[in-house]
Amino acid sequence: MIEMYDLGDKVQRVIKSKIARAFVDLNRAPDDLPPKNPDGVIKSSTCYKKPIYHERKEPDDSLRTLLLEMYYFPYHNSIQKSLDELELQLCLDCHSMAAIAPGISPDAKDNKRPKFCISNNDGQTASQEMMELLASCISESYGIDRDDISLNDPFHGGHITRTYGNKPVPWIQVEMNRDLYLTEPWFDQEQLTVDPKHLEKLNKQFENTLNLFFKKFDGEDS
């Protein structure tokens, strides 16, 4: 199945998660664990406060360690290896966000979220110029209003962006609203599937966004 962000060999490298975020959240610090944080790197409940495991079936310390060794550290090692091996202009940490904020989110009292949120940890991981340009290119490529693209609101950039951003490569977190694909007519409520043609369209729009971004950033579109 085509993924919205996976551009394959059209970019220098794509690093994909091999496990669902409900089990190992790669965008958390490795010591961010329950019970202190139920929504940490290995979760005990979802962002909607639903328990993930049956009572007394939660991962113990040894299983947590195994999960981190199998999924978390290899993923982050791949990021560092890419930074060491490649000459990169920009890295993107790509996610999707619920259309309406769950109760534990910083914007829980607000209404519907924007179509996109891009984040640079409030100016720490990428320049404002890059942020504004990327927002403009998203608007043009996806055919949405610029006002539907927020900067650092409701998200400021997660663990990955904060850890690797501007060390030395600029880093931006991208959040796409799930309303762009998990609603009718693209989402089949009975089969729980998304129209592959629509996913292909979103993938192409993402590709167009990056092509336009680098064309303008490199000064070819003057």
pLDDT at position 220: 60
- Residue 5, in any domain of the structure: no
- Please count the structural domains in the chain: 2
Question: How much is the average pLDDT of 176-193?
Answer: 94
In this structure, the answer to whether residues 128 and 142 fall within a common structural domain is: yes
pLDDT at position 222: 45
- Residue 6, in any domain of the structure: no
pLDDT at position 46: 84
pLDDT averaged over every residue in the chain: 93
**pLDDT above 60: residue 164:** yes
- Minimum mean pLDDT among 45-49, 53-57, 188-192: which range? 45-49
In this structure, the answer to whether residues 93 and 68 fall within a common structural domain is: no
Question: How much is the average pLDDT of 121-138?
Answer: 98
pLDDT at position 2: 65
**pLDDT above 90: residue 219:** no
Q: What is the 3-state secondary structure (H, E, C) of the chain?
A: CCCCCCCHHHCCCCCCCCCCCCCCCCCCCCCCCCCCCCCCCCCCECCCCCECCCCCCCCCHHHHHHHHHHHHHHHHHHHHHHHHHCCCCCEEEEEEECCECCCCCCCCCCCECCCEEEECCCCCCCCHHHHHHHHHHHHHHHCCCHHHEEECCCCCCCHHHHHHCCCCCCEEEEEEEHHHCCCCCCEECCCCEECHHHHHHHHHHHHHHHHHHHHHHCCCCC
pLDDT at position 129: 97
In this structure, the answer to whether residues 79 and 111 fall within a common structural domain is: no
In this structure, the answer to whether residues 79 and 128 fall within a common structural domain is: no
**pLDDT above 60: residue 72:** yes
Q: Which domain holds residue 44?
A: 11-88
pLDDT at position 49: 84
Question: How much is the average pLDDT of 118-122?
Answer: 98
- CATH code of residue 168: 3.40.630.40
At 107, the pLDDT band (50, 70, 90 cuts) reads: confident
